[in-house]
Homo-oligomer: A and B are copies of this chain.
Amino acid sequence: MKLIQIYQCLCDETRLRILNLLRGGELCVCHIQEILGARQVRVSKHLAYLRAHGLVAVRREANWMVYRLPDRPSKDLSANLACLQDCLAESPIFGRDTARLRRLKSRFEETSPICCAKKARISDSSRRGAA
């Protein structure tokens, strides 16, 4: 029952916040970390959990692991993410996260979704391996 795996992922606030952030596009771990204000281990573990349950996908970009929602989410997942988005619409915590995300994105908008613009440019030239 894949559906249950989805619900298992959704019953933790940190994971909900991560999924909420990823709706805005892919993000590296340290950005998630920064926005959530959580320690690295915690974020990393929750991402591992989400990954193991098929709720997120990853690619490596130089030193960074860049997480995103699955490219072809199942019907169940799409439905539940949509439902989640709906439920979160008025939540202050999630609104704050989204606002922080926007501000953070404006810092590296034209470069890459990963941390530091300078390093991002370097990895741009080594990106041939990326999907």
Residues of A with Cβ closer than 8 Å to B? 1, 3-4, 7-8, 10-13, 16, 75-76, 79-80, 82-83, 86-88, 91
Contacts and interface: CB of A to CB of B under 8 A. Distances in A.
A49 to B, nearest CB: 13
Which of A3, A8, A13, A91 counts the most chain B CB atoms within 10 A? A3
A75 B90 CA distance: 12
A79 B10 CA distance: 15
Contacts of A91: 1, 3
Contacts of A87: 3, 75-76, 79-80
B8 A11 contact: yes
Given A83-B79, A83-B80, A10 B12 contact: no
A92 B12 CA distance: 28
Contacts of A76: 87
Contacts of A3: 16, 87-88, 91
Given A79-B87, A83-B80, A87-B79, A7 B10 contact: yes
Nearest to A3: B87
A124 to B, nearest CB: 39
Contact of A16 (B4, B75, B79): B4
